[in-house]
Structure 1
Amino acid sequence: TQTMRAAYTSFGLAAGRGMLPLEDTMAAATETLQHFFETRGASITDGSIMLAAGIALAATSRAYHGAMAEASSEHAAGATPLPWLEALHNINQAATANLELTTRLETTVRVVAETTGADACSVALYDEATDSLALLAAVGLNPAAIGAVIFRPGIGITGVAAAERSVMAVTDARSHPAYLALPSTGEDLYASQLAVPMLIRDGANGGRLVGVLNIHTIDRRAFAEEEIAFLQTVANELAISIENARLYSRTDARLRRKIAELGTLQRVSHSLASTLDLGDVLRLIAEKAMELFSAESAAIFRFPHRGNRRQQAPTIAFRVGDSRQLVEELSRDEVIRQVLHTGTPRSVEVDDVSGASRLFCLPLRSARETLGALCLRLPHNVELTEDELGLLQAFSDSATLAIENARLYQEARYGLETASALLQEMHHRVRNNLQTVAALLSVQLRQAEEAPWAVHLREAISRVQAIASVHDLLSDERRLAGTTIDVIARHVANEAMRTLIPPGLTVDFQIAPSDITVPSKQATVLALLINELISNAVSHGFEHRSKGTVTISSTIEDGSVSIRVENDGERLPAEFDSEQSPGLGMRIIHRLAASDLRGSFVIRSSATATTATLSFPLTDDDMDDDLLSRPALYGQSGTEQQQTSFEDLVRTPGQGG
């Protein structure tokens, strides 16, 4: 029985320490007893057997509960005190609620001081770039020292903790060899100090230093291991949160910088697109590049000619910033030539009379060719970051587009000026040729003033002079694109006064002012039409009169122009139909109005006047020039098209009108 009790007591202790459930423990003990009795042939109904089994099971239960009580006691003795857990919760809550570093540090020092019962608490952060510690948050120290006190690792108790990456628990701080009195902070008031380094564990040299967490007490205090462990936990949590805050700050700053760069690039692109003058575009590119990348100077290099560029030296198209004399200009020119030929950027060190500097050259490349190179002079120790290179590439793309647009505009403007000059010269020569023809016809007319065909010759001279007068108008560069209807009418009327109106007849022309401008193609047709209408008025309306009045006016509505030519001469016969008139003049008018102007013509008489009205849509000079494609010139007869020409009109007998 004693042996069995001892065995089952050991079993109960092992099960309890192993944290096995009580039900499983008792079931296993019962099963073992049953197997033990069965192997020995004992009967469970035997009283002594039942007593032995009860003793064994009771021993198992007592041992099990004893082990569980022992484990609970040990856990209670080693558990983290509730205030420390609450402090860690508050610190972590501050870390997740606010990514602003100052707020996080202030919360940490306040909570740690309250939790540990310290009289002062501070955090000093490490700056790897300057290898220094800076006091950034504190309670119980001089507030004026926050942000103002900076010291090196290895100096003072805090510095030693940072340098050695180890905890410094000092009961008598003033007597410690590493003690450094800093009266500006107020640390000299405190007797004990616990300095815990804040580390990011990376497996190298004990971890990467983030800073040091300190607590101070006025009375001497021996810091317990639990207290040190708690502060180490706080320091590690704080190190991680500070690192996250720094990453957030760097990411946020980078994002803000990106937004600012994109805004700047947008403004620069807008400025470059605001002008089409090539000189202004080059100036803006150089100025904005220097401003955007804080360069000492900026210049745009281009080849002077489009010929064999391998034999040409690149020249400065525009430069901004101070100019320095280079020690070897040939080396600079060779770099720029390589950039222009290869279309790839280059960055090299160059020497000038003031010292060394860095030259960064970027090609300005369009889809067709390399237009030039943008060169920035930077301090010799400056390298452009990947983000800056991307921004510079985007800037160069905008600059290239602006140069290409300005150059195309320059070429288009030159082409327009050339075409205008050629067109002006063409109008001038056509006018001279027509005037020569009119002069020859006039000579012929003077030799046979009384001949029966003289009237037709006079009309022909008038038509030629009318067309010549319009070409005279259009030879003026101010009117190359077209002229107004009243100016055309006035010139035609002046020519009619000289060539068309016979002696003994006085005609008063009343031409209403008009601001309707017609293109050159329509102007020529209108001159001929107005001349025909004046000719009809003179030949038929004023045939038996000594004077008459011709009124010419024009209106426009919804893009449709109407020109009215009125005369107060004889009225038209009631049966007159202009479309059926055999006269050459009427045939010319109808054909020109329909085919060239794509409009209509009507003539009617009233009690006071005879009014001819031309109506046509106003077009521009881009209208189709192919007159042969206009349906008014063709008449359909089955499957054949027959063109009506002026030769057909001339062969038709009859007079105009």
Structure 2
Amino acid sequence: MDETSTVMSAVRAPLEATALATLGEANTEGRAAVQVLLDLSMQAVQPTDLDQIEAEGRHLAMTRERFDQRLAALEDALFALEEAVTTCLDDATVQHATHMTLHTAYRTVITTLARGFQAGGDALARAESARAQLEQRRLRAVQRINTVANSTMNIGEMLETAAKIIADELPIDLCAIFLYDNQNDELTLDAISASPDEVAGHFIIHLGDQITGVVAQRAVPDGVPNLHDWTIPPIETQMFGREYQGVYVMPIICFGGESSILEGAITLLKRATLVLSAEEFAFLELVAGQLALSMENSKIYRHAEETRLRQMSNIAMLQSVSATVATSFDLVRVLQMIISQAVQISGSTAGAIFLLENDGALRIASRSEMNAPSLRDTSLRVGQCCVGHAAEGGEQYWGIDCMHTNPECYLRHLSDQMPHIHSSLAVPLLSKGLVKGVMHLVRTERHMQPGIGARLVETFANEAAIAIESTHLYEETRTSLEMKSHLLQEMHHRVKNNLLSIAAILRMERRRTTSEETTRVLSESISRIDGMAATHDLLSRDEHIGMANIADIATKLIGVVSAYLVPPTLRVKFETRTKDVEVHSKKALVLA
């Protein structure tokens, strides 16, 4: 210790007190700096103390505190000590030497503090660079998952990619991803970061069981850092044939508005203690959110695709029914096809179609999935049960549990055999505003959601009404044509008989006459009348009423000519060369 340091040690107490009084109580950093400068001036500072000052500089840089404030506090402490030296020491030479010692200590502290601050800044820059690189790498990892999710609707492929990426990015040994089955309340293992050969069979965890099931049920990320205190380890740590010590579970939840949907869970396993940092947790949470969104989008896409295929199938069914209605007059076949398709499209359990007869009764005409023999001859009156109400009002009629409570329901006696049936829909078959019948569908649900199913049921009901009307028109037209055919056949038959009677009278006259000219004229007339009678005979046949074949007409006429116009002494050979052509009655008579 030199002479100046010895002097300062002797007067340290008054120097310190005077300097602290100058700084005041509020300047805490300056008061601490007074102690450091005095210790360093009196050579009472050890190398470890300088290391501490350097560490303080590093701390300032790492915590991003202001370095200039620390310098200002040291400067305040130096000025306060200089004033204290002037006050407490009378000798000018000693004062000057003491001032120089304080300035040396000040520079030493500034240099050491700056060196630590620079080192801390460099370390902070390296840490930030490493963090930025890590964030970029994890961002690229999330983008890879997003790319797979957008390029394919294969959930398995997306989850397998995600499991491998998570295992690469986090300090774990294995990542397993489970999918939630809300119908069975189960979590099924769907993807792992390791080889699938390491999994022993189809792995399922019930919701609320084991660590994964409990965390998924609570919908809050959680885990067990170390399982060394567990007597019976959870099954997650044993399912891959290895002993894992740390488990962490992140639920995969899709949030939408005020509701949330559990999609699955991500289970992390490590053969040592597993604790995630804030950055690692944020990465895992981001991946879970991305997977939840992709899973929900996949469900929406799958549902839309199923709806599209179902609609295409429904349209094909409707086209098939329309084609059958347009081309077939077999009412039983058409109605059976319509009720079968209506039951399938509407998701009903069974159904039947009733026809409104002329006597006002509703009689069952076709059934689907109603195989009880007792229903074969079912007949209802208008106003009875749902079917009768729909026929009476001409509007759709809903019934809830009517087959179990309404004694007039035609299915009441089957209530014990169909306990699961709860609702029914009766749709009137309307044609030109008139009720032709009723379509009746029964369902297990207590309601039918309005939509394409309900609209298609109404469309099928309209098709049934058209089929009934078309069949009735066909039957009326066929009956009318048969009646006209019988009348036309009878007319031709009577005309033929009248012509033959005329021919018979002319033959009688021919036998009585002695004139050769009269005989020739009568014979020619008889021949013509017989030809016309033969043609009417052809026109009265059942095969083609009012139509005659030219070949048949020619054959008939040859017979007539041979009999009445060819002399017995003349041998004539007739040959017909006609095509198979039919002509109408008027042309046939002219030809004859």
Specify the TM-score bucket, using the shorter chain as the normaliser: 0.5 to 0.7
CA distance in 2, matches of 1:328, 1:190: 72
Note the aligned Cα RMSD (angstroms).
Answer: 3.9
8 Å CA contact 1:198–1:210 kept in 2: the answer is yes
Which of the numbers 300, 307, 310 marks the counterpart of 1:247?
Answer: 300
Instruction: Give the number of the structure whose residues are more often helix, by fraction.
Output: 2
Q: How big is the shift at 1:106?
A: 0.6
CA distance in 2, matches of 1:312, 1:331: 7
Which of the numbers 68, 91, 110 marks the counterpart of 2:164?
Answer: 110
Q: Write out aligned runs for 1:223-302 (5 A).
A: 223-270=276-323, 275-289=328-342, 296-302=349-355
For residues 58-88 of structure 1, the C-alpha deviation after alignment (integer angstroms, 9 at most, x for no partner) is xxxxxxxx9xx89979965875544323322
CA distance in 1, matches of 2:262, 2:345: 36
Which residue pairs with 2:193 in the alignment? 139
CA distance in 1, matches of 2:381, 2:207: 49
CA distance in 2, matches of 1:276, 1:472: 33
Are 2:543 and 1:478 aligned? yes
Q: TM-score, normalised by structure 2?
A: 0.66
CA distance in 2, matches of 1:183, 1:330: 70
Which of the numbers 187, 197, 201 marks the counterpart of 2:251?
Answer: 197
Q: 1:147 to 1:498 in 2, by over 3 A?
A: same
Q: How big is the shift at 1:477?
A: 1.6
Which residue pairs with 2:557 in the alignment? 492
The secondary structure found in structure 2 opposite 1:222 is: coil
Q: How big is the shift at 1:109?
A: 0.8
Q: How big is the shift at 1:417?
A: 1.8
Which residue pairs with 2:530 in the alignment? 465
Report the more deviating stretch, 445-454 or 193-202. 445-454
Which residue pairs with 1:148 in the alignment? 203
8 Å CA contact 2:163–2:176 kept in 1: the answer is yes
For residues 426-446 of structure 1, the C-alpha deviation after alignment (integer angstroms, 9 at most, x for no partner) is 101112222333334444444
CA distance in 2, matches of 1:429, 1:149: 91
Q: TM-score, normalised by structure 1?
A: 0.60
The secondary structure found in structure 2 opposite 1:280 is: helix
The secondary structure found in structure 1 opposite 2:367 is: strand
8 Å CA contact 2:540–2:546 kept in 1: the answer is no
CA distance in 2, matches of 1:219, 1:250: 43
Count of residues in correspondence between the two structures = 453
Q: Write out aligned runs for 1:408-487 (5 A).
A: 408-450=473-515, 453=518, 455-487=520-552
The secondary structure found in structure 2 opposite 1:99 is: coil
Tell me the amino acid that sits aligned with residue 268 of structure 2: I
Which residue pairs with 2:174 in the alignment? 120
CA distance in 2, matches of 1:227, 1:99: 28
Which residue pairs with 1:520 in the alignment? 585
8 Å CA contact 1:121–1:213 kept in 2: the answer is yes
Are 2:431 and 1:375 aligned? no
Are 2:363 and 1:315 aligned? yes
- What percent identity do the matched residue pairs reach? 28
- 5+ residue gaps, structure 1: 1-16, 18-65, 306-310, 528-657
8 Å CA contact 2:558–2:574 kept in 1: the answer is no
Q: 1:248 to 1:320 in 2, by over 3 A?
A: closer
Are 2:226 and 1:172 aligned? yes
Which of the numbers 198, 216, 222 marks the counterpart of 2:275?
Answer: 222
8 Å CA contact 1:171–1:223 kept in 2: the answer is no
Q: How big is the shift at 1:277?
A: 2.9
Q: 1:373 to 1:501 in 2, by over 3 A?
A: same
Tell me the amino acid that sits aligned with residue 152 of structure 1: L
8 Å CA contact 2:382–2:389 kept in 1: the answer is no
Q: 1:359 to 1:156 in 2, by over 3 A?
A: same
Which of the numbers 144, 147, 169 marks the counterpart of 1:93?
Answer: 147
Tell me the amino acid that sits aligned with residue 293 of structure 2: I
For residues 250-275 of structure 1, the C-alpha deviation after alignment (integer angstroms, 9 at most, x for no partner) is 22222233333334444454555553
8 Å CA contact 2:329–2:470 kept in 1: the answer is yes
The secondary structure found in structure 1 opposite 2:274 is: coil
8 Å CA contact 1:136–1:147 kept in 2: the answer is no
The secondary structure found in structure 2 opposite 1:173 is: coil
Tell me the amino acid that sits aligned with residue 218 of structure 1: R
Q: How big is the shift at 1:525?
A: 0.9
Q: 1:408 to 1:150 in 2, by over 3 A?
A: farther
Instruction: Give the number of the structure whose residues are more often strand, by fraction.
Output: 1
Q: 1:102 to 1:420 in 2, by over 3 A?
A: same
CA distance in 1, matches of 2:277, 2:231: 22
CA distance in 2, matches of 1:430, 1:192: 111
Which residue pairs with 1:345 in the alignment? 396
CA distance in 2, matches of 1:273, 1:466: 44
Which residue pairs with 1:510 in the alignment? 574
- 5+ residue gaps, structure 2: 1-63, 65-117, 405-411
CA distance in 2, matches of 1:391, 1:110: 48
Q: 1:163 to 1:88 in 2, by over 3 A?
A: same
8 Å CA contact 1:133–1:152 kept in 2: the answer is yes
Which residue pairs with 1:637 in the alignment? none
Report the more deviating stretch, 245-254 or 389-398. 389-398
The secondary structure found in structure 2 opposite 1:299 is: strand
CA distance in 1, matches of 2:228, 2:269: 12
8 Å CA contact 2:381–2:388 kept in 1: the answer is no
For residues 159-204 of structure 1, the C-alpha deviation after alignment (integer angstroms, 9 at most, x for no partner) is 3322333221431135479974357624872111222222333454
Report the more deviating stretch, 410-419 or 263-272. 263-272
8 Å CA contact 1:170–1:176 kept in 2: the answer is no
Which of the numbers 304, 311, 323 marks the counterpart of 2:357?
Answer: 304
Report the more deviating stretch, 231-240 or 471-480. 471-480
CA distance in 2, matches of 1:365, 1:174: 76
Say which structure, 1 or 2, has more relative contact order (CA 8 Å, 6+ apart): 2
